[in-house]
Amino acid sequence: MHHELRQVTEFNEELRTLVADMTATMYAAEGVGLAANQVGVDLKVFVFDCPDNDGVRVTGVVCNPVLTLPEGKDRILDVADEGCLSLPGAFVECGRPDIASVKGFDENGEPVSFDGTGLLARCLQHETDHLHGTVFGDRVPEKSRKKLYKIHKSYAEDYPEDWPVSPMVR
């Protein structure tokens, strides 16, 4: 999870199948986003289905994302609990800018652009981070990071090693 993924260069049936599988996996895991490396694929692509600050649900696919965040006085941090399908069951507070924009391409190679507030802004940042080799635990203070991994460890036996690809052990 800590290495930058390869750019998507071919927008073909294989990519469309990957996106469909990732979307099904995200829904089965009850997540709001999923990056390709979370299912063992070395490509810069993520899927998401997430509400914005107004409760409007936004769904999409982004290949080769370029993230834009506010700077200076426009940068307002939203500190809220964050979790990750790669660390199931564990949540800690993480500060992220309250708005975010992502540009890239969909699974057909068509340009896409998403502007997010609230949870959607957090999701766009979180998933783009994955594609660049950053997990959200890297963005929290050491004390919170230790807490995050301790919580995750307490839930680990409930999840298969290849989660979220395989379903939860019940």
Residue 154: which CATH number?
Answer: 3.90.45.10
Instruction: Concatenate the DSSP letters of all residues of 91-126 into one string.
Output: EEEEEEESEEEEEEE-TTS-EEEEEEEHHHHHHHHH
Q: Of 13, 82, 107, 127, which residue is the catalytic one?
A: 127
In a domain, 150, yes or no: yes
pLDDT computed for residue 170 by the predictor: 61
Predicted confidence band at 156 (pLDDT cuts at 50, 70, 90)? confident
In a domain, 147, yes or no: yes
In a domain, 110, yes or no: yes
* 82 a catalytic residue: no
In a domain, 167, yes or no: no
Q: Indicate the number of domains in the chain.
A: 1
- 34-93 per-position pLDDT tens digit: 999 999 999 999 999 999 999 999 999 999 999 999 999 999 999 999 999 999 999 999
In a domain, 8, yes or no: no
Domain boundaries, position 59: 13-158
In a domain, 163, yes or no: no
Predicted confidence band at 15 (pLDDT cuts at 50, 70, 90)? very high
In a domain, 7, yes or no: no
